[in-house]
A and B are shown apart, each in its own frame.
Chain A
Amino acid sequence: MTGTLSAAATPVMDRLISRSVEKHRPLSVHFDLTYRCNERCVHCYLDHQDHGELTTAECLKVLEDLARSGTLFLTFSGGEIFLRPDLYEILAAARRLHFDISLKTNALLVTPERAARLGEFGVRRVQISIYSDLPAVHDAITKVPGSLQRTLAAIPILLQYRLQVKLACPLMQENLMAYRGVIALAEKLGIPYILDLTITPMMDGSSGPLAHRASVSSLLPVLRDPALQACKPRPNAQPDGAVNALPPAFGSAVSSGMESPAYNDLPCSAGHNSCYISPYGDVFPCVQLPQAAGNLRREKFDDIWYHAPQLQRLRAIRESQLPICSRCEIRSYCERCPGLALMEGGNLLGAYERACALAEEKARLAGVAVPVSALHRERDTASVPTTPDAEFAFLAADSSSH
């Protein structure tokens, strides 16, 4: 037959990811429309002041460029997206350009009329941040009294308009054990959820939000919960095996990178087939990897995506070549994030304390007798390299044949 049509989400998605990685197509883009917000979450990594957001016309131009470049999956987030008065104009343009549209919101401003419009614009999925099923816990994190009640009231409205709703629950000191209530809430509503153990520094690198991060030892009850399978090694856990294949309950509530075994030896999707665009037009590999590759007010998206040195360097990295982590015996328990390695360890290629400590605890709980990460083992023997630039020069040269 001349023209063929195939379906089934996972194989199609894996093929799509493989092709997009191979040819560096920006398949998935996370576009923050504003950093302004009507909540003041204690752990937030954003500066909520408006420092000159892209205008409506500039946003529409970005969307046209992304469509031309092959972006299919588009996530609008913030800040709180409903604070953009031109949100519907932007969504209408995204609809005309045939994007698969997802939104991230706190849902405080959702009304039946707004939900109906989201449906009209073909929004497929809405991810809502929930920190607890208890108002006292949730509202203390958002610093908005009554916010849980308002957010929960929005969910049935969105479902009524056939929008897929997903709960995202970042876990921190203030709500560590609230995950059980959030899971129960999601199951009661019949909707998926994601738990996120990642609390990141501010995008400017300052460490304020980290004061709310739960210590590794305090996470043990969560890691031990058999329902969450937090200590299950990653599927195909081989030295060169799958990456980023997190247990079903866990993942990033922030990044929009897609998880798939198709990434093989890549640390993650950032810069390979996904990227992040700030409200000011800065293009980053990921919201958790704040190294700006260019600005869309000055350059075309394709010029940044295909030619920015920051992205080309990132594409050269292979997990099997990481100076420390490639030698780690408990790699399959690790959820190392390149962005956090840079922000917390100062080295995009390096190991960082938090990931290593978490991997050791997960491996221990899974029955590994003496789990010691390569970072800790080599630090004990003082063999950890300390020259990131030299490490990178080695990788960049070695990867030129890829």
Chain B
Amino acid sequence: MSTPATVFWQKNPALAWREIDDETVIISPHDSVMHELNDTGSFLWKNIDGKKSAAELAVLLVENYEVTPDIALSDTQALLEEMSSRKLVVMVPETAGVSP
């Protein structure tokens, strides 16, 4: 059984979205709700590709922003959970996902 560390994340394919000047706007087509990501959220969003776990995304965050690994991981997990609750991202179990 997969653990959170081995779960990959991918964008909900039904969404419309665009990165505009380092910020990302996402629209859910069925309810027309708009969501907005700041620059670091946009960075994570760009890297959510169905092939990376929260831990792997956090490593990318550390490599590109001045943030400690612990904070990067907790923030990444928090953002993914928030986006998941809004159906912006979906989990892809390692066994069913695209090989990283």
A contact residues vs B (CB 8 Å cutoff): 1-9, 12-13, 15-16, 19-20, 23, 25, 27, 67, 70-72, 98-101, 122-125, 162, 164
Q: Are B38 and A4 in contact (CB-based, < 8 A)?
A: yes
Q: Are B33 and A70 in contact (CB-based, < 8 A)?
A: no
Known: A7-B34, A16-B25, A122-B14. 14 other contacts (CB 8 A): A2-B40, A3-B37, A3-B44, A3-B75, A4-B79, A5-B41, A5-B82, A6-B36, A8-B33, A19-B20, A27-B20, A98-B15, A100-B16, A125-B32
30 contacts between A and B (CB under 8 A): A1-B75, A2-B41, A2-B65, A2-B72, A2-B75, A2-B76, A3-B40, A3-B41, A3-B44, A3-B76, A3-B79, A4-B37, A5-B41, A5-B79, A5-B88, A7-B36, A12-B25, A12-B35, A12-B36, A19-B20, A23-B21, A25-B21, A27-B20, A71-B18, A72-B16, A72-B20, A72-B25, A72-B27, A98-B17, A124-B16
Q: Considering the complex, give the chain A residue whose CB is closest to the CB of B42.
A: A3
Bound Cα distance A13, B17 (Å):
13
Q: Which of A5, A23, A164 contacts B37 (CB 8 A)?
A: A5
Bound Cα distance A383, B5 (Å):
75
Q: Are A13 and B34 in contact (CB-based, < 8 A)?
A: yes
Docked complex: B1-41 residues within 8 A CB-CB of A: 14-21, 23, 25, 27, 29-30, 32-38, 40-41
Q: Considering the complex, give the chain A residue whose CB is closest to the CB of B29.
A: A124
A5 and B61 in contact, given A98-B17, A98-B18 (Cβ under 8 angstroms): no
Q: Are B16 and A99 in contact (CB-based, < 8 A)?
A: yes
Q: Considering the complex, give the chain A residue whose CB is closest to the CB of B83.
A: A5
Q: Which residues of A contact B20 (CB under 8 A)?
A: 16, 19-20, 25, 27, 70, 72
Q: Which residues of B contact A71 (CB under 8 A)?
A: 18
Q: Considering the complex, give the chain B residue whose CB is closest to the CB of A1.
A: B75
Bound Cα distance A244, B33 (Å):
23
Size band of the B side of the interface?
A: 35 or more
Q: Which residues of B contact A99 (CB under 8 A)?
A: 16, 18
Q: Are A3 and B18 in contact (CB-based, < 8 A)?
A: no
Q: Are B37 and A124 in contact (CB-based, < 8 A)?
A: no
Q: Are B32 and A124 in contact (CB-based, < 8 A)?
A: yes
A4 and B18 in contact, given A9-B34, A122-B29, A124-B27 (Cβ under 8 angstroms): no
Q: B67-88 CB contact bits vs A (8 Å, 1 = yes)?
A: 1000110011011001100101
Most buried by A among B19, B23, B35: B35
Q: Which of A9, A16, A101 contacts B32 (CB 8 A)?
A: A9
Most buried by A among B14, B25, B61, B67: B25
Bound Cα distance A125, B32 (Å):
9
Least Cβ distance of A160 to chain B in Å? Answer: 13
Q: Considering the complex, give the chain A residue whose CB is closest to the CB of B15.
A: A98
Q: Are A3 and B43 in contact (CB-based, < 8 A)?
A: yes
A98 and B21 in contact, given A3-B40, A3-B44 (Cβ under 8 angstroms): no
Q: Which residues of B contact A3 (CB under 8 A)?
A: 37-38, 40-41, 43-44, 61, 75-76, 79
Least Cβ distance of A125 to chain B in Å? Answer: 8
Q: Which residues of B contact A122 (CB under 8 A)?
A: 14, 16, 29
Bound Cα distance A275, B91 (Å):
38
Q: Which residues of A contact B72 (CB under 8 A)?
A: 2
Q: Which residues of B contact A72 (CB under 8 A)?
A: 16-18, 20, 25, 27
Q: Which residues of B contact A5 (CB under 8 A)?
A: 35-37, 41, 79, 82-83, 86, 88
Q: Which residues of A contact B29 (CB under 8 A)?
A: 100, 122-124
Q: Which residues of A contact B37 (CB under 8 A)?
A: 3-5
Q: Considering the complex, give the chain A residue whose CB is closest to the CB of B25.
A: A16
Q: Considering the complex, give the chain A residue whose CB is closest to the CB of B88.
A: A5
Q: Which residues of B contact A123 (CB under 8 A)?
A: 29
Least Cβ distance of B31 to chain A in Å? Answer: 9
Q: Which residues of A contact B35 (CB under 8 A)?
A: 5-7, 12
Bound Cα distance A25, B25 (Å):
14
